Amino acid sequence: MEYLEIVLMFVKAFAVGGLICMIAQIVINFTDLTAGKILVIFMLSGIALTALGLYQPLVEFAGAGATVPISGFGYLLANGAMRGAQEGLFEALTGSLAAASAGVSAAVVFSFIMALIFRSHTKYN
């Protein structure tokens, strides 16, 4: 792979990921929505865009810039469910769980390790 192609790949990922984050920041600044509601909206938008066939081209274009944000988690869940649906109803229900299991497991394990290493405390303003 040529260096210019690698740089272009990074630029596309940064631009798309940055655009998704910019949209989230605009929503945070101009609405009274809580962080949890915003996360759910972005995850559901990833699911909806995947169902409409619009998120896959974005993933092919931007790679990690589209899969790392929370909308990429919705894309992952929807893809797993659609792949599972090809095998049957039960697999449609469990396909999204199987697709996301590695990421969720890693988050739990690394969170536990960080909790052992660092001492958490309540932050007072």
Task: With CA atoms as reference, report the closest residue to 69 among 116, 31, 27.
Answer: 27
Length of the chain equals 125
- Reported as a single tens digit per residue, the pLDDT across 97-108 is 888 888 889 999
* Residue 50, CB-side half-sphere exposure with 13 Å CA sphere: 23
Which residue ranges make up each domain of the chain? 3-117
- Reported as a single tens digit per residue, the pLDDT across 22-63 is 999 999 999 999 989 999 999 999 999 999 999 999 999 999
Determine the number of helices (DSSP H) and then strands (DSSP E) in the chain: 6, 0
User: Tell me, what's the pLDDT at 100?
Assistant: 86
Can you tell me the distance from the alpha carbon of 49 to that of 64, in angstroms, rounded to the nearest whole number? 17
